[in-house]
């Protein structure tokens, strides 16, 4: 009856006493202990793997304790800060870490770890993440010698001003100009229109004194005619260093509140003919000589820039895994201690995690958080392998690596953003409270689907590569790397090609699942190619223009299918590698290079669940049925096996999230705390709400009292 009477208030009032189930005390901390006893593997083995070994894991925990004790690292009021407090607090935290790194001379890695733990984005994000790297990668050695000491000594704070009010993704559309004046050997930086206003750069609003400004380089040619060389980078000072006021001709402001990330002062900026010396154009590659001759960069350099992107995206994928890991840690622990509705009168209420729909939400998300974590690691090693190639002048692997990293950036950030919100919803009402930690995590994270390239546009880059690769194969070329399966597309998509799953259990076999995902990918790439060919009316494939832009749905679908195949394959390969390494580097050793048999068995189940879930969700099953690759019986078997995997993994749910080993300090969640004492946690945190500063509340004196007070007591 229970579910029947949800919220059916008045009706409840009339239930005869005999039907009333007496409440049972819930014992959340006991429930969580019990869950940990149920685990079939040693979660520490996985904790070492996911945290880069015992040493790093212990350092993470040690840092968390230290940071919690600092004035700027303390999180007890974090969810109660107004916008200004959040902005000031984010800066204090960044400066606090900066100081600590100097005084205790910590490594850059240690500093990065501290920033992750403090988790308080602020006005220095782009100084660290974009301004300094731009000078290092695009500045000449003289420029680096001049600017880096100022950056590292915080004598200046920089940002990176590219996006404009009218243009984000389409960078070639930027309108800001930097016009060379040969007489004074200066560049004149100007915002010719409203839409040329720089918009979004972090730290620009109130913090940055300088910026790398992307502006169209305009240089007059011999005949005095102005030539447009497109966007280049220029270092411009924005604010007076003594008064912090904007310099003449510079208009700056904060763009206002956002979904999240409100400690960061994303800003707007416009220039009214602001002059900067010639040597503030970043001149490592392209140059403008004093007499005004444009020197184009060496061609090799564009390849280097692709490499930078690959690195940035690998980092985003790694981060996606840990962000989703945080969310599933909170939701899974709470679902294990939250009890609702007794199965029968007199019995204890069920743990919410024992409702199939809850397990069907959380366990696949746990699987995804592992898939993304392994993918992040793999992308980092791909990048390192590429660096070695590059140093030998080898760039052959780059196009595929770049295309793959685009699609994975998109797919992984989608999985994580949507997954965090799903986790929040499984927490019921309390998930809506910021004290659960999930709202802030989602609000800060979700921008990942847009920045560093809108996800749909990222998918289109991958699709373009795959469609070209398939066209190449049809002309006898070989497809490389993750797209190699396209070499066998003819046999793969031959009418006779069938799924090998002869039994329910077959769906647990990595090769069977991988084959299905590969077939779905091949089919969707072929379909997208056909769609595009049809749109161009046989005039060959077009990768821009209306034929392309009016048929993006199938292309995006193809990119997703390809990346899903890669995610699963990487998951499977990683588990195999970890298990094989056990003899060389024993799991107990804490190197985080291996796992034992029990752990590997659970990871294989997770990888299988990941594959089946993706097929059920992303329309993969529909495609495979339509294609004739999968029979109705096989689809039904897949679904049955999916349900059985949920039950099989259920006892390990808590151990699997414990393995991420996020300190309570990082989670900052009343529902996700490791000891499971969630209700006390909620009450303790809620007491700190600013509205509780007074008993009467802020509206009493001026708003409520005039209405309510001085009325005779009832």
Residues carrying an active site annotation? 452
Closest to 524 (Cα-Cα) out of 478, 492, 484: 492
Q: How far is the CB of 581 from a second copy (least distance, A)?
A: 37
Phi/psi-derived region of residue 224, left when phi > 0, alpha when psi is between -120 and 50, beta in every other case: left
Return the residues of window 132-161 that contact a second copy according to CB under 8 A.
137-138, 150, 154-157
Q: Is residue 582 near a second copy by the rule CB under 8 A?
A: no
Q: How far is the CB of 268 from a second copy (least distance, A)?
A: 6
Closest to 638 (Cα-Cα) out of 499, 523, 492: 499
Q: Is residue 632 near a second copy by the rule CB under 8 A?
A: yes
The C-alpha angle with vertex 315 and arms to 403 and 418, in degrees rounded to 5, equals 85
Q: Is residue 69 near a second copy by the rule CB under 8 A?
A: no
Beta bridge partners of 523: none
By CB under 8 A, name the one of 362, 460, 499, 515 that touches a second copy.
460
Return the residues of window 684-703 that contact a second copy according to CB under 8 A.
685-692, 695-700, 702-703
Where do we find the tokens 């802030």? 440
Distance CA 60, CA 383 (A): 25
Q: How far is the CB of 585 from a second copy (least distance, A)?
A: 39
Q: Which is nearer to a second copy, 603 or 646 (CB)?
A: 646
Whether 419 contacts 362, CB under 8 Å = no
Q: Is residue 340 near a second copy by the rule CB under 8 A?
A: yes
Beta bridge partners of 181: 186
Return the residues of window 165-184 that contact a second copy according to CB under 8 A.
165-175
Tokens of 286: 């392209």
> Cα Rg for the chain, rounded, in angstroms?
28
Task: Kindly indicate which of the ranges 78-86, 496-504, 509-517, 597-605 contains the residues binding a second copy, using the contact rule CB under 8 A.
Answer: 78-86
Q: Which is nearer to a second copy, 216 or 562 (CB)?
A: 216
The C-alpha angle with vertex 557 and arms to 473 and 637, in degrees rounded to 5, equals 100
Distance CA 68, CA 260 (A): 22
Q: Is residue 5 near a second copy by the rule CB under 8 A?
A: yes
Q: How far is the CB of 584 from a second copy (least distance, A)?
A: 40
By CB under 8 A, name the one of 114, 276, 371, 435 that touches a second copy.
435
**Residue 440 labelled as part of a binding site:** no
Whether 615 contacts 621, CB under 8 Å = yes
Q: Is residue 494 near a second copy by the rule CB under 8 A?
A: no
Q: Is residue 74 near a second copy by the rule CB under 8 A?
A: no
By CB under 8 A, name the one of 65, 116, 142, 230 that touches a second copy.
230
By CB under 8 A, name the one of 61, 70, 144, 447 that touches a second copy.
447
Instruction: Show the site string, 25-44: x = touches a second copy by CB under 8 A, - = not.
Output: xx------------------
Tokens of 650: 């259920």
Q: Is residue 79 near a second copy by the rule CB under 8 A?
A: yes
Q: Is residue 121 near a second copy by the rule CB under 8 A?
A: no
Q: Is residue 344 near a second copy by the rule CB under 8 A?
A: yes
Q: Is residue 434 near a second copy by the rule CB under 8 A?
A: yes
Where do we find the tokens 């880059």? 461
Contacts for 390 with CB less than 8 Å, ≥ 6 apart: 303, 304, 307
Instruction: Show the site string, 507-546: x = touches a second copy by CB under 8 A, - = not.
Output: ------------------------------------xxxx
Beta bridge partners of 246: 239
What are the two backbone dihedrals, phi and then psi, of residue 80, each rounded to the nearest 5 degrees?
A: -105, 0
Q: How far is the CB of 230 from a second copy (least distance, A)?
A: 4
Return the residues of window 463-482 that contact a second copy according to CB under 8 A.
464
Q: How far is the CB of 450 from a second copy (least distance, A)?
A: 6
Task: Kindly indicate which of the ranges 7-15, 44-52, 567-575, 602-610 contains the residues binding a second copy, using the contact rule CB under 8 A.
Answer: 7-15
Where do we find the tokens 């294609």? 627
By CB under 8 A, name the one of 36, 92, 275, 498 that touches a second copy.
92
Give the strand pairing for 210-220 and 226-237: antiparallel
C-alpha distance across the termini of the chain, in Å? 41
Return the residues of window 236-265 that contact a second copy according to CB under 8 A.
237, 240-246, 252-259, 265
What are the two backbone dihedrals, phi and then psi, of residue 586, each rounded to the nearest 5 degrees?
A: -60, 135
Q: Is residue 229 near a second copy by the rule CB under 8 A?
A: yes
Cα dihedral angle (47, 114, 67, 690), rounded to 10 degrees? -100
Distance CA 240, CA 658 (A): 49
Q: Is residue 621 near a second copy by the rule CB under 8 A?
A: yes
Give the strand pairing for 267-271 and 339-340: unpaired
Task: Kindly indicate which of the ranges 29-37, 100-108, 433-441, 477-485 contains the residues binding a second copy, using the contact rule CB under 8 A.
Answer: 433-441
Classify residue 211 by its DSSP letter: E
By CB under 8 A, name the one of 1, 393, 476, 539 that touches a second copy.
1
Give the distance, in angstroms, between the CA of residue 401 and the centroid of all CA atoms in the same chain.
19
**Residue 620 labelled as part of a binding site:** no
Annotated binding residues:
163, 202
Annotated binding residues for FAD:
163, 202
């Amino acid at each position: 009856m229970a579910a029947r009477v949800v919220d059916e208030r008045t009706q409840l009032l009339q239930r005869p006493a005999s039907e009333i189930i007496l409440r049972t005390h819930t014992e959340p901390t006991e429930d969580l202990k019990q869950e940990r006893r149920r685990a079939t593997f040693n979660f520490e083995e996985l904790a070492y793997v996911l945290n880069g070994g015992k040493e790093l894991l212990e350092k993470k925990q040690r840092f968390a304790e230290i940071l919690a004790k600092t004035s700027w690292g303390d999180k007890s009021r974090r969810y109660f800060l107004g916008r200004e407090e959040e902005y000031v607090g984010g800066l204090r935290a960044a400066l606090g870490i900066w100081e600590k790194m100097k005084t205790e001379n910590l490594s850059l890695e240690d500093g990065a770890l501290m920033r992750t733990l403090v988790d308080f984005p602020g006005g220095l994000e782009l100084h660290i993440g974009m301004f300094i790297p731009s000078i290092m990668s695009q500045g000449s050695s003289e420029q680096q010698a001049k600017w880096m000491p100022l950056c590292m000594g915080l004598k200046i704070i920089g940002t990176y001003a590219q996006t404009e009010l009218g243009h984000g993704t389409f960078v070639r559309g930027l309108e800001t100009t930097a016009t060379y004046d040969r007489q004074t050997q200066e560049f004149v930086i100007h915002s010719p229109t409203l839409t040329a206003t720089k918009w979004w750069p972090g730290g620009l609003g109130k913090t940055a004194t300088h910026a790398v400004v992307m502006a169209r380089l305009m240089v007059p040619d011999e005949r005095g005619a102005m030539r447009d060389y497109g966007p280049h980078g220029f270092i411009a000072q924005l604010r007076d260093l003594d008064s912090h006021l904007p310099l003449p001709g510079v208009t700056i402001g904060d763009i206002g509140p956002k979904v999240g990330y409100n400690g960061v002062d994303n800003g707007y900026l416009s220039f009214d003919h602001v002059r900067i010396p010639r040597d503030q154009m970043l001149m490592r590659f392209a140059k403008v000589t004093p007499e005004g001759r444009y020197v184009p960069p060496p061609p090799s350099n564009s390849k280097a820039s692709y490499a930078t992107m690959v690195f940035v995206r690998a980092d985003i994928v790694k981060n996606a895994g840990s962000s989703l890991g945080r969310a599933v840690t909170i939701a899974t622990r709470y679902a294990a201690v939250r009890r609702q509705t007794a199965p029968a009168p007199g019995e204890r209420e069920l743990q919410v995690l024992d409702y199939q729909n809850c397990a069907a939400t959380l366990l696949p998300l746990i699987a995804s958080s592992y898939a993304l974590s392994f993918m992040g690691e793999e992308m980092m090693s791909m990048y390192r392998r590429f660096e070695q190639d590059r140093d030998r002048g080898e760039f052959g692997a780059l196009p595929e690596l770049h295309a793959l990293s685009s699609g994975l950036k998109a797919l992984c950030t989608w999985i994580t953003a949507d997954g965090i919100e799903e986790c929040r919803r499984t927490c019921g009402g309390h998930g809506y409270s910021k004290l659960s930690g999930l709202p802030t995590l989602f609000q800060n994270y979700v921008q990942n689907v847009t920045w560093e390239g809108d996800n749909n546009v990222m998918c289109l880059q991958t699709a373009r590569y795959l469609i070209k690769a398939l066209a190449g194969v049809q002309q006898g070329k070989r497809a490389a790397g993750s797209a190699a399966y396209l070499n066998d597309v003819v046999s793969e998509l031959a009418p006779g090609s069938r799924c090998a799953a002869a039994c329910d259990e077959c769906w647990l076999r990595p090769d069977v699942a991988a084959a299905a995902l590969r077939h779905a990918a091949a089919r969707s790439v072929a379909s997208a190619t056909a769609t595009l060919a049809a749109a161009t009316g046989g005039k060959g494939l077009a990768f821009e223009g209306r034929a392309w832009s009016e048929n993006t749905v199938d292309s995006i679908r193809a990119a997703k299918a390809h990346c899903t195949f890669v995610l699963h394959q990487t998951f499977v390969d990683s588990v195999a590698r970890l298990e094989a390494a056990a003899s060389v580097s024993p799991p107990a050793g804490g190197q985080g290079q291996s796992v034992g048999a029990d752990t590997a068995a659970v990871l294989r189940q997770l990888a299988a669940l990941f594959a089946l879930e993706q097929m059920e969700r992303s329309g993969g099953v529909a495609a495979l049925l339509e294609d004739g690759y999968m029979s109705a019986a096989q689809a039904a078997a897949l679904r049955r096996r999916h349900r059985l995997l949920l039950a099989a993994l259920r006892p390990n749910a808590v151990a699997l999230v414990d393995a991420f080993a996020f300190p309570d300090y990082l989670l900052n969640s009343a529902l996700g705390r490791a000891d499971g004492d969630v209700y006390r946690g909620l009450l303790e945190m809620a007491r700190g709400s600013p509205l509780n500063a007074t008993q009467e509340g802020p509206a009493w004196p001026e708003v409520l009292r005039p209405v309510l007070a001085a009325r005779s007591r009832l």
